[in-house]
Amino acid sequence: MGKIYAIANQKGGVGKTTTCVNLAASLAATKRKVLLVDLDPQGNATMGSGVDKNEQEYTIYDVLVGATNFENAVQPSPEGHYFVLPANGDLTAAEVEMMSLEQKEYRLHKALDGVKEQYDYILIDCPPSLNMLTVNAMAACDGVLIPMQCEYYALEGLSALLNTINAIQERLNPKLRIEGILRTMYDPRNSLTGDVSAQLNAHFGDRVYRTCVPRNVRLAEAPSYGMPVLAYDKQSKGALAYIALAGEIIRRNDTSSQQELATAG
Q: What is the pLDDT of residues 4-23, one digit of tens each?
A: 999 999 877 889 999 999 99
What integer pLDDT is reported at residue 151 of this predicted model?
82
Mean pLDDT over the full length of the chain: 91
Q: What is the pLDDT of residues 18-32, one digit of tens each?
A: 999 999 999 999 999
| Nearest residue to 176 (alpha-carbon basis) of 137, 216, 222, 148 | 137
Q: What is the pLDDT of residues 48-68, one digit of tens each?
A: 999 999 999 999 999 999 999
Provide the domain count of the chain: 1
For residue 209, give its domain range.
Answer: 3-264
Contact 105, 138 (CB under 8 A): no
Domain of residue 174, CATH code: 3.40.50.300
Contact 86, 78 (CB under 8 A): no
| Nearest residue to 7 (alpha-carbon basis) of 140, 193, 154, 155 | 140
Q: What is the pLDDT of residues 152-199, one digit of tens each?
A: 777 777 888 899 999 999 999 999 999 999 999 998 888 888 888 998
